[in-house]
Amino acid sequence: MDGNGRWAQRRGLPRVDGHRRGAKSVREVVRAAREVGLRALTLYAFSSQNWDRPPDEVATLMQLLRDYVIDERAEIMDNGIRLIAIGEVARLPDFVREPLETLAHDSASNRAMTLCLALSYGGRESIVEATRALCELAARGAIQAKDLTEARFSAALQTGGLPQLDLLIRTSGEERLSNFLLWEAAYAELYFTDTFWPDFGREHLLEALASFDGRERRFGLTREQIRSAG
């Protein structure tokens, strides 16, 4: 969800105003995703590297996150949405982490859609964490080197319980992954848009899904193999 700061600066506003407006886009996109029947939606809300931003901007982002978790609790529960978080959640301040963990616990049995918030998250960091956990299992003799497969490694990631990543959307004209879901994005379709996140809404999500729907996904096979398999 990129472009909040630039959206604000182009309007002569403080960067934090872009983040506030971006929070409204989060609400609209989550509702739209639920309505169209997406199984899971992951929002890259705060990266591991974002901690290095100016302290006042980080503080605003933390407050907005807390406000979202509290204000949207009723809608999340009423619509059967399961909330989870990936990343170094322990680094979040208590006033954010506590309501987040409470809502994650209370929504755990919801099945209509999974909303995953990537917080203090980094793709490289996630891969290192999973590797470390598997190495510890091997050191204890719980697994052997021959037991390590792609499926086993995927399951060790924090996203292990989520469906396969199909579509990755990046806003604001940037065309790079920026350390987001690096392992999971191996066969994802990429969609880049010049729209800044504060302007990204339901219609933009539908455009991205329409683009995805028109693509032929081959997963290493030939077009003829895909077509013959239906």
Q: Domain-by-domain residue ranges, the chain?
A: 4-222
Q: Could you tell me where the DSSP H helices lie in 39-119? A: 55-71, 73-78, 94-106
213 is catalytic: no
User: Residues 50, 79, 110, 179: which is the catalytic one?
Assistant: 50
CB distance 106 to 135 below 8 Å:
no
2 is catalytic: yes
pTM: 0.93
Q: Which CATH architecture has domain 4-222?
A: 3-Layer(aba) Sandwich (3.40)
pLDDT in tens, 118-175: 999 999 999 999 999 999 999 999 999 999 999 999 999 999 999 999 999 999 999 9
Residue entry with tokens 């991205």: 208
* Cα dihedral value 203, 118, 38, 29, nearest 10: -20
pLDDT in tens, 7-25: 999 999 999 999 999 999 9
